[in-house]
Structure 1
């Protein structure tokens, strides 16, 4: 079973304030679990969120042209 993280732990993992994970939960942009009144986020959901929002760098190809003369 996945480790369930508090909102504060997710904020620390992402390097953000606590408002960001709370907004993700409110907008249903991340998987979460309700345990009574408490909200917990599975560690795999955080990893999936980061992976889905990761932007790979663009590698530029050299065209062989140096520029305008």
Structure 2
């Protein structure tokens, strides 16, 4: 997957190794990575996904 273009919802799910439905739930709850609406489609910048993952790993580490 290219990191110089926005990812689709399915590409994000594939990258994270989770079902597409999980991404829909994260969007609805507001707990997923930042996304953009492009017309009727939701897109994700790989940089934002990586930052979101880093923030989640930091939160897990600080709870110990």
Which 4+ residue blocks in structure 1 deviate beyond 6 angstroms?
none
Q: Structure 1: which 5+ residue stretches go unaligned? A: 57-69
Query: RCO higher in 1 or 2 (8 Å CA, sep ≥ 6)?
Result: 2
**Who wins on radius of gyration, i.e. which is larger?**
1
Q: Structure 2: which 5+ residue stretches go unaligned? A: none
Aligned length: 55
- What do you get for the CA RMSD once the two structures are aligned? 1.4
TM-score (norm 1): 0.68
User: What do the CA deviations read for 1:30-67 (whole angstroms, capped 9, x no partner)?
Assistant: 211001111111111110111111144xxxxxxxxxxx
Greater strand proportion:
1
